[in-house]
């Protein structure tokens, strides 16, 4: 089992994140990309080299890239140029992943970019996923969809796209907050789950909110999940102490 944390959760300058993650006891850091994505160092060759050096020097892996900005460029965006930019964003990151040893790109659908019911079977949506997936396949990278959809709705998308490069990024905290049975959904999705976020509800430390962690843990074991668990947990006032507390919870219970 490998446990990582999103870089933004530590609330440190990026150059210090890998060293601190190592010090706390993590195995990896998930790299987050904000609104001005082209300014992120992943969009320059030297920047990618810098991140690779930070990873190698600290012995901290990079399990995933997380372009939060994608929510403004989704596959169903009404403007063709904006939609194309979103696809190009994912294609660029697919090419970058092998250089960093990353295996997953988190593809988020929240806020104005959420997947509505009518999008699930929309040719515009499905064709967009397929276009991004074609490049991901070439680089042996998985586009892991994270959204407000139920497990069966995610499966509908996967069945239509039919690509080994598309899966689900499962977040038990989000699912529980939406009223879904996270353990049941994990069993439903099975090996369609590419990666998982560890998170409880209402900003709680893991195990202190409404997520039924014993059931979730049992479900992950039942499906034979052996991928990364990445913390997406709030700081509760002290980012470093909270990260250590949540990491300990995962190590002791999974």
Residue spans of the domains in the chain: they are 2-253
Distance CA 163, CA 142 (A): 9
Q: Which residue has the tokens 């250590």?
A: 244
C-alpha separations of 80 from 75, 105, 206 in Å: 9, 22, 41
Classify 2-253 by CATH class. Answer: alpha beta
Q: What is the value of pTM for the model shown?
A: 0.97
Tens of pLDDT along the chain (254 residues)? 999 999 999 999 999 999 999 999 999 999 999 999 999 999 999 999 999 999 999 999 999 999 999 999 999 999 999 999 999 999 999 999 999 999 999 999 999 999 999 999 999 999 999 999 999 999 999 999 999 999 999 999 999 999 999 999 999 999 999 999 999 999 999 999 999 999 999 889 999 999 999 999 999 999 999 999 999 988 888 999 999 999 999 999 99
- Strands 2-6 and 28-33, by their bridges, are parallel
Q: Which residue has the tokens 């059931």?
A: 215
**141-186-188-181 Cα dihedral, nearest 10 degrees:** -140
């Amino acid at each position: 089992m490998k446990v990582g944390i999103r870089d933004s959760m530590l609330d440190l300058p990026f150059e210090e994140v890998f060293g601190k993650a190592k010090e706390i006891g993590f195995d990896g850091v998930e790299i987050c990309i904000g609104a001005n994505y082209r300014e992120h160092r992943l969009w320059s060759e030297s920047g990618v080299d810098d991140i690779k050096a930070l990873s190698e020097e600290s012995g901290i892996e990079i399990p995933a890239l997380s372009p939060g900005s994608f929510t403004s460029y989704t596959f169903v965006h009404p403007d063709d140029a904006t939609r194309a930019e979103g696809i190009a964003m994912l294609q660029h990151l697919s090419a970058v992943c092998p250089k960093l040893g990353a295996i997953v790109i988190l593809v988020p659908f929240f806020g104005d970019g959420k997947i509505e019911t009518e999008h699930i079977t929309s040719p515009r949506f499905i064709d967009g996923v397929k276009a991004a997936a074609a490049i991901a396949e070439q680089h042996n990278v998985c586009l892991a969809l994270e959204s407000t959809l139920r497990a069966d709705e995610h499966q509908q998308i996967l069945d239509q796209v039919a690509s080994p490069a598309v899966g689900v990024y499962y977040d038990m905290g989000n699912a529980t907050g939406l009223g879904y049975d996270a353990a049941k959904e994990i069993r439903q999705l099975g090996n369609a789950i590419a990666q998982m976020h560890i998170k409880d509800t209402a900003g709680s430390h893991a195990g202190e909110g409404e997520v039924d962690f014993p059931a979730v843990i049992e479900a992950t074991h039942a499906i034979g999940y052996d991928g990364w668990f990445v913390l997406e947990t709030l700081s509760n006032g002290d980012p470093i102490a909270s990260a250590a507390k949540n990491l300990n919870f995962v190590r002791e219970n999974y």
